[in-house]
């Protein structure tokens, strides 16, 4: 069985990325100290599509997400090997402006993590940081709040504490905050895992609305959710306690006719 | 875009942080350096041996006839500290135990608040209170009243809050489950304390004791005001004594050359004592966290 | 059977004895506290009026007020804070936010602060005299005294600011990093405001320690009881004034009154500190 898995990992080799590839990951590995969390991942992420990362927990999906905007730099003992190429730039090469990279690749976390300041200030902070002129702040804030459908709900209390919002509203404000910088890619780490079904539904519809305009990579444990929102999927699997990607491609193809036995079992709810 | 400037700001910030940290940590080195530099003349010309072998403490007689016997002061410092710790350690522990296991909630809060306030009272006030309240009482027992016992009692009061607060913090870390386990066995409060609480809290209590000792060794004002300041090795609790710290406080004002240098030697000795206690404490803390 | 009953009886006696001992100790501690504060207030309150707070020192403190003493005290405190706040904040930020990137430096700083926190105040006095007064040529002055105190206050201030900053959820740091914010703006706009309670508590603990200090000021800021005309003037701190008054005959009434003023100042600061610690930082700032 483990041989099969090993081969599965190897079977995902992709050729060298072409320059117009939106986001290309080659031979990526992540380790925490001596423990390898993720090995030899090859994936191409397409522009304007929603890519769902699925698989059992502990298989390195979140670790993978953290490498794409180099948030992995902040995790003690975390080392990254291999290549990540975003719009023709190797993001792990020297002289990469990490601030700029993270402005171009936004991120939304499992739990809403708004700053302990007002709703307005939460949106102003990234805008000011990246040089948005003062007279544009209000316009841009309103834009993103309308995009995530929060404007009608909070327009009359922008100066209230962001923590006074409900969980679903907070998560949408987090998305709005990430959108303030007009990111080309939005990373979402199980954005609905702390929300109730109603709030989850709102976020899912929001993701569907954003498709095309934004490129989204979303980690989810919820297969039904992946089926509802994903254009592409990548299936993460564990082998010898380290994760790898065993299968990736168009969502429909993977869900309808999975190639790997582990994927078949996982989708059928028999494993993982 | 602004981001370039931001990374430069970050670099400036980091160097600022490092600069301030180096400055803050160099204070200790500066202290050691100046203590050494000022005591060097005395150490070189008088030598350590004479601080013990000299017959008396006569620091400002005619040139060349000075005597620098530091032993009585050292004895006073050690004895007053020992006495204070012997009383304050059990008392502090009992006060913490009172808050955690015996007192009703309101009383426990009150007691805790009182201990906190006691910790905040400056040493000069303790000294003053000792002088106007404690010393007259002791005077009736054995004149002149300013003596080793007065010093021990005032020091006890001063280090008790330190010990009580740290002991209390240690007791708070004992898992509730262990106490419930003891209660389920029908153990009495005293048996629970002796069998469960004290063994588990022992390392933390020892650290509290070391910190209390440190505070007592270094205390100046209170002992200066109540100990009588006679240079002698005490033969009873009612003898007036002069501690190392009080000696510095009394004589730094007029000391010159060799005399001044000897006072710095006694400062160096205090520093060595304190560093020893801190080293013990750090060592101990490390071994505790390993377990 | 009889053996076990006698053992049980003995345990009961021990239990009772310990209980009596515990209550007795707690009672004694409270009684001594009440006696101390009561005595101070009883004898001291009578001597405090507006004149006492606003007039100059006369006949080496036996008469007159403590106005110049208060001014000197606050000037010394101001110098102390002006130096220790910036250095302390920066060091605390290094320890809480960048210790992983500067492990050696952080360990060294931590160890030296531990030692510094334990240095006896009289040794600070010796050091301040040798370094600030003589080596740097500041003489007996408010400046020397304030700088000496800042050395004393730094470890307390740094440790509580560090704890306050560590108490800020790491979520905010991740969120800020994911938005491409620089460390500088994260600190200024999120971490320092969120860590403000810890900073406030540290500040008050430091001020409390500085106000209470006597021995370190004897040979640094000096005994002059007149109104200081500049920071280079000698100025007598309130705590030192109390000590000095016990050394002159007939000084006790004013020593009591000055003591009440000092304790009142400290009480307010202490209550503010423990209030901030308990209600805002949630008890995460350790008070030693």
Which of C178, C184, C190, C193 to mutate against chain A (most A CBs within 10 Å)? C178
Give the rounded percent of residues in chain B with a pLDDT score beyond 70.
96
Which CA distances in Å does C241 have to B119, B200, B250, C186, C211?
21, 46, 15, 45, 12
Within a domain: C28? yes
Q: Which residues of A touch B (CB under 8 A)?
A: 97-100, 103, 129-131
Which chain C residues are Cβ-neighbours of A99 within 8 angstroms? Answer: 180-182
C27 and C72 within one domain: no
The enclosing H or E element of B156 equals: helix B148-172
CA–CA min distance A19, chain B (Å): 24
Give yes or no for residue C213 having a pLDDT over 50: yes
Phi-psi region of A125 (alpha: psi -120 to 50; beta: other; left: phi over 0): alpha
pLDDT by residue for chain A (272 residues), tens only, comes to 344 444 445 446 777 777 778 999 999 999 998 889 998 899 999 999 999 999 988 888 999 999 999 999 888 888 999 999 999 889 998 888 888 999 999 999 999 999 988 999 999 999 998 888 999 999 999 999 999 999 999 999 999 999 999 999 999 999 999 999 999 999 999 999 989 999 999 999 999 999 989 999 999 988 999 999 999 999 999 887 788 898 899 999 999 988 888 888 888 887 76
The answer to whether the CB atoms of C288 and B166 lie below 8 A apart is: yes
The answer to whether the CB atoms of B2 and A103 lie below 8 A apart is: no
On whether the CB atoms of residues C215 and C122 are closer than 8 A, the answer is yes
Name the token pair of B59.
């620091």
Higher pLDDT, A163 or B289: A163
Which of C20, C26, C104 to mutate against chain B (most B CBs within 10 Å)? C26
Q: How many residues does chain A have?
A: 272
Distance of CA B97 to the CA centre of its chain: 22
- Residue C65 CA to residue C53 CA, distance in Å, equals 6
ipTM over cut 0.85:
yes
Residue C4: the pLDDT is 54
Which chain C residues are Cβ-neighbours of A182 within 8 angstroms? Answer: none
pLDDT in tens, B91-123: 999 999 999 888 888 999 999 989 988 888 999
On whether the CB atoms of residues C176 and A113 are closer than 8 A, the answer is no
CA–CA min distance B13, chain A (Å): 16
| Cα within 13 Å of Cα(B219), Cβ side | 33
Tell me whether C194 touches chain B (CB under 8 Å).
no
On whether the CB atoms of residues C171 and C107 are closer than 8 A, the answer is no
Looking at every residue in chain C, the average pLDDT score rounds to: 88
The answer to whether the CB atoms of B165 and C288 lie below 8 A apart is: yes
Residue C91: the pLDDT is 96
C219 and C196 within one domain: yes
Within a domain: C161? yes
Place of tokens 């929300």: A195
Q: Please name the residue of chain C whose CA is at the shortest distance from the CA of residue B268.
A: C123
How confident is the model over C207-226, as a mean pLDDT? 91
Give yes or no for residue B53 having a pLDDT over 90: no
SS3 content of chain C, % helix, strand, coil (to 5): 75, 0, 20
DSSP state of A15: P
Give yes or no for residue B291 having a pLDDT over 50: no
Within a domain: C285? no
Tell me whether A125 touches chain C (CB under 8 Å).
yes
Residue A8: the pLDDT is 46
The enclosing H or E element of A31 equals: strand A23-32
Where helices occur in C98-191 by DSSP H, the ranges are 103-118, 121-128, 142-166, 170-178, 183-186
Name the token pair of A12.
């995902």
The answer to whether the CB atoms of A100 and B1 lie below 8 A apart is: yes
DSSP C204-239: HHHHHHHHH--HHHHTTT----SPP-STTS----HH
DSSP state of B219: -
Q: Please name the residue of chain C whose CA is at the shortest distance from the CA of residue B36.
A: C127
CB contacts < 8 A, B to C, total 265
Q: How many residues does chain B have?
A: 291
| CB-closest option in C171, C174, C180 to A129 | C180
Contacts with A270 (C-beta within 8 Å, 6 or more apart), sequence order: none
C62 and C43 within one domain: no
C167 and C116 within one domain: yes
Q: Which CATH superfamily is domain A2-111+187-267 in?
A: P-loop containing nucleotide triphosphate hydrolases (3.40.50.300)
Residue B6: the pLDDT is 67
Q: Which residues of C touch A (CB under 8 A)?
A: 100, 169, 171-182, 185, 189-190, 193-194
Q: Where are the domains of chain A?
A: 2-111+187-267
User: Helix or strand or coil: residue A51?
Assistant: strand
Which chain B residues are Cβ-neighbours of C100 within 8 angstroms? Answer: none
Residue C8: the pLDDT is 72
Within a domain: C11? yes
> Could you count the other beta carbons within 10 Å of the beta carbon of residue C46?
12
What domains can be seen in chain B, in order of their start residue? 73-290 (1.10.3720.10)
- Residue C33 CA to residue C187 CA, distance in Å, equals 42
Give yes or no for residue B3 having a pLDDT over 80: no
Which CA distances in Å does A53 have to A97, A101, A190, B164, C218?
27, 21, 10, 55, 69
Of the pLDDT bands very low, low, confident and very high (cuts 50, 70, 90), residue C288 is very low
C255 and C222 within one domain: yes
C163 and C83 within one domain: yes
Give the rounded percent of residues in chain C with a pLDDT score beyond 90.
59
The answer to whether the CB atoms of B91 and C28 lie below 8 A apart is: yes
Phi-psi region of A86 (alpha: psi -120 to 50; beta: other; left: phi over 0): beta
The enclosing H or E element of C147 equals: helix C142-166
C188 and C139 within one domain: yes
The enclosing H or E element of C3 equals: helix C2-44
pLDDT in tens, C227-275: 988 899 999 999 999 999 999 888 899 999 999 999 999 888 877 877 7
Indicate the angle between helix axes C2-44 and B148-172, nearest 10 degrees. 120
Query: Which of B87, B86, B80 has the alpha carbon at shortest distance from B243?
Result: B80
C247 and C128 within one domain: yes
Residue A6: the pLDDT is 45
Residue B63: the pLDDT is 66
Query: Which of B2, C175, C176 has the alpha carbon at shortest distance from A132?
Result: B2
The answer to whether the CB atoms of A129 and B7 lie below 8 A apart is: no
Name the token pair of A134.
């003062």
B290 exposure class (CB count in 10 Å sphere: 0-12, 13-18, 19+)? exposed
Looking at every residue in chain A, the average pLDDT score rounds to: 89
Residue B218: the pLDDT is 93
C83 and C14 within one domain: no
The answer to whether the CB atoms of C22 and B133 lie below 8 A apart is: no
Give yes or no for residue C78 having a pLDDT over 70: yes
pLDDT in tens, B168-214: 998 888 888 888 888 888 788 888 888 888 888 888 889 999 999 99
Query: Which of A142, A138, A143, A205 has the alpha carbon at shortest distance from A168?
Result: A205
Q: Please name the residue of chain A whose CA is at the shortest distance from the CA of residue C185.
A: A129
Within a domain: C284? no
The CATH number given to whatever domain includes residue C73 is 1.10.3720.10
The C residues from 221 to 260 touching B (CB cutoff 8 Å) are 239-240, 242-243, 246, 252, 255, 259
Of the pLDDT bands very low, low, confident and very high (cuts 50, 70, 90), residue B2 is very low
Which chain A residues are Cβ-neighbours of C171 within 8 angstroms? Answer: 109, 111, 113
CA–CA min distance C196, chain A (Å): 12
Q: What is the dihedral of CA B128, B130, B131, B132, to 10 degrees?
A: 90
- Residue C284 CA to residue A134 CA, distance in Å, equals 38
Residue B204: the pLDDT is 87
pLDDT in tens, A66-115: 999 999 988 888 899 999 999 988 999 888 888 899 999 999 999 999 99
C58 and C42 within one domain: no
Which CA distances in Å does A33 have to A78, A240, B96, C168?
6, 16, 43, 26
C125 and C20 within one domain: no
User: The domain containing residue C202 runs over which residues?
Assistant: 51-279
Give yes or no for residue C83 having a pLDDT over 90: yes
Query: Which of C24, C170, C142 has the alpha carbon at shortest distance from C73?
Result: C142
The total number of structural domains that make up chain C? 2
Which chain B residues are Cβ-neighbours of C98 within 8 angstroms? Answer: 14, 17
- Residue B221 CA to residue C36 CA, distance in Å, equals 17
C139 and C22 within one domain: no
| CB-closest option in C178, C185, C189 to A102 | C178
Rg (CA), chain A: 19
Last residue of a domain, one of C14, C32, C47: C47
pLDDT in tens, C109-160: 999 999 999 999 999 999 999 999 999 999 999 999 999 999 999 999 999 8
| Beta-sheet strands, E only, within chain B | 57-58, 67-68
Within a domain: C210? yes
Place of tokens 């009692």: B153
- Residue A162 CA to residue C187 CA, distance in Å, equals 19
Residue C285: the pLDDT is 38
pLDDT in tens, C90-123: 999 999 999 888 889 999 999 999 999 999 999 9
Within a domain: C117? yes
On whether the CB atoms of residues A55 and A41 are closer than 8 A, the answer is no
Give yes or no for residue C281 having a pLDDT over 70: no
| CB-closest option in A113, A129, A178 to C171 | A113
């Amino acid at each position: 069985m483990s041989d099969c898995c090993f081969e599965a990992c190897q079977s995902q080799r992709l050729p060298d990325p072409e320059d117009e590839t939106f986001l290309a990951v080659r031979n990526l590995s992540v380790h925490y100290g001596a423990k390898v969390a993720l090995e030899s991942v090859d994936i191409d992420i397409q522009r304007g599509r929603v890519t769902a990362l699925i698989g059992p927990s502990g298989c390195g999906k979140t670790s993978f997400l953290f490498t794409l905007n180099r948030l992995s730099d902040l995790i003690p003992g975390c080392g990254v090997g291999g290549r990540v190429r975003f719009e023709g730039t190797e993001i792990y090469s020297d002289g990469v402006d990490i601030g700029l990279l993270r402005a171009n690749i936004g991120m939304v976390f499992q739990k809403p993590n708004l700053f302990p300041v007002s709703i307005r200030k939460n949106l102003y902070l990234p805008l000011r940081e990246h040089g948005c002129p003062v007279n544009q702040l209000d316009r841009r804030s309103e834009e993103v709040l309308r995009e995530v459908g929060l404007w009608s709900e909070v327009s009359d209390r922008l100066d209230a504490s962001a923590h006074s919002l409900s969980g679903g509203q907070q998560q949408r404000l987090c998305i709005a905050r990430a959108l303030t910088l007009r990111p080309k890619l939005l990373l979402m780490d199980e954005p609905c895992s702390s929300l109730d079904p109603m709030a989850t539904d709102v976020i899912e519809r929001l993701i569907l609305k954003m498709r095309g305009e934004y490129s989204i990579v979303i980690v989810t444990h919820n297969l039904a959710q992946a089926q509802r929102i994903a254009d592409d999927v990548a299936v993460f699997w564990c082998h010898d306690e380290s994760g790898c990607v065993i299968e990736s491609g168009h969502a429909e193809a993977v869900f309808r006719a999975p190639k790997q036995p582990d994927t078949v079992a996982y989708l059928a709810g028999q494993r993982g | 875009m602004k981001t370039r400037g931001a990374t430069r700001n970050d670099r400036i910030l980091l160097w600022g942080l490092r600069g301030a940290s180096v400055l803050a940590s160099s204070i200790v080195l500066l202290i050691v350096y100046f203590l050494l530099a000022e005591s060097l003349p005395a150490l070189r010309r008088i030598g350590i041996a004479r601080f013990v072998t000299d017959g008396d403490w006569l620091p400002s007689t005619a040139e060349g006839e000075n005597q620098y016997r530091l032993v009585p002061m050292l004895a006073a410092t050690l004895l007053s500290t020992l006495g204070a710790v012997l009383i304050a350690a059990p008392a502090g522990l009992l006060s913490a135990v009172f808050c955690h296991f015996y007192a009703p909630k309101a009383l426990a809060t009150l007691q805790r608040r009182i201990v906190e306030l006691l910790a905040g009272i400056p040493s000069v006030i303790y000294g003053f209170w000792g002088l106007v309240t404690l010393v007259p009482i002791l005077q009736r027992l054995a004149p002149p009243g300013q003596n080793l016992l007065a010093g021990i009692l005032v020091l006890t009061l001063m280090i008790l809050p330190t010990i009580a607060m740290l002991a209390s913090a240690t007791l708070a870390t004992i898992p509730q489950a262990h106490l419930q386990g003891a209660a389920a066995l029908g153990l009495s409060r005293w048996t629970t304390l002796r069998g469960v609480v004290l063994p588990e809290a022992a390392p933390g209590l020892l650290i509290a004791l070391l910190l209390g000792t440190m505070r007592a060794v270094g205390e100046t004002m209170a002992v200066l005001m109540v100990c009588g300041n006679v240079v002698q090795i005490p033969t009873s609790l009612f003898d007036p004594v002069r501690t190392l710290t009080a000696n510095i406080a009394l004589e730094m004002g007029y000391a010159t050359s060799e005399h001044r240098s000897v006072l710095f030697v006694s400062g160096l000795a205090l520093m060595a004592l304190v560093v020893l206690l801190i080293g013990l404490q750090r060592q101990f803390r490390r071994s505790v966290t390993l377990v | 059977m009889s053996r076990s009953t006698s053992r049980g009886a003995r345990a009961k006696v021990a239990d009772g004895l310990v209980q009596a001992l515990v209550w007795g100790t707690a009672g004694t501690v409270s009684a001594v506290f009440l006696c101390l504060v009561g005595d101070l207030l009883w004898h001291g309150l009578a001597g405090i009026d507006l004149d006492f707070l606003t007039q100059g020192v006369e006949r080496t403190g036996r008469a007159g007020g403590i106005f110049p003493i208060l001014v000197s005290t606050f000037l010394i405190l101001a110098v102390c804070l002006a130096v220790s706040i910036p250095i302390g904040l920066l060091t605390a930020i290094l320890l809480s936010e960048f210790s992983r990137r500067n492990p050696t430096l952080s360990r060294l700083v931590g160890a030296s602060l531990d030692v510094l926190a334990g240095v006896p105040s009289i040794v600070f006095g010796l050091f301040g005299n040798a370094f600030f007064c003589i080596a740097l040529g500041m003489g007996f002055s408010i400046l020397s005294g304030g700088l000496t105190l800042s050395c004393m206050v730094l470890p307390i201030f740094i440790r509580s600011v560090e704890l306050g900053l560590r108490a800020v959820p790491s979520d905010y740091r991740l969120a800020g990093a994911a938005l491409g914010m620089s460390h500088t703006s994260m600190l200024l706009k999120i971490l320092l405001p969120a860590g403000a309670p810890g900073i406030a508590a540290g500040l008050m603990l430091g001020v409390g320690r500085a106000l209470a200090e006597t021995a370190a000021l004897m040979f640094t800021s000096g005994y002059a009881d007149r109104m200081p005309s500049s920071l280079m003037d000698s100025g007598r701190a309130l705590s030192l004034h109390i000590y000095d008054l016990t050394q002159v005959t007939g000084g006790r009434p004013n020593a009591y009154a000055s003591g009440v003023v000092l304790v009142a100042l400290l009480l307010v600061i202490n209550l503010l500190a423990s209030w901030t610690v308990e209600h805002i930082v949630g008890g995460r700032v350790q008070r030693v």
